[in-house]
Amino acid sequence: MDNLFKSAIRVALFFSAACLLLWAVIPGWRSVFAGLLLGIGASVMNALLLKRRVELVGQVVPDGSKRRMGLGLGSRMATVLLAAMIAYKYPETFNMPATLAACMMMPFIILVSASIYNKRH
């Protein structure tokens, strides 16, 4: 799991670097690339929150304790909502469709990383 997550973070960082480079080179598309950067940041944050939640559940289940979990989905939704609110408040800086599309990027990156990992092993 950690190898998949590390490779997905690496791909997200490469994608962010490419967006930053294209943001500097193509001035007409700056809002799109800034929206992609904002969305990938929110997506990485969601992946970190989900990883933490999975680790907590993995610790609680073997113990058999009935510790109540909460705010897992809510915190991830709030992260995407915050990115959308920033893009909505500053439409000249951030493109809303690009922001929302990039917010859903990490699950696909992890899926591709997992399929590549499974083919190798």
Look at residue 20 and tell me whether its pLDDT is greater than 90. Answer: yes
Structure tokens given for 23: 């943001």
Band of pLDDT at residue 112, cut at 50, 70 and 90: very high
CA distance 36 to 105: 10
| pLDDT tens digits, one per residue of 57-108 | 787 777 766 666 666 788 899 999 999 999 999 999 999 999 999 999 999 9
| pLDDT value for 2 | 81
| pLDDT value for 54 | 84
Structure tokens given for 68: 């109540």
In 3D space, the residue among 62, 99, 98 whose CA is nearest the CA of residue 80 turns out to be 99
Stated pTM of the model: 0.87
CA distance 75 to 3: 24
The pair phi, psi for residue 81, each rounded to 5°, is -65, -40
What mean pLDDT comes out for the span 9-17? Answer: 95
| pLDDT value for 43 | 96
Calculate Rg over the CA atoms of the chain.
17
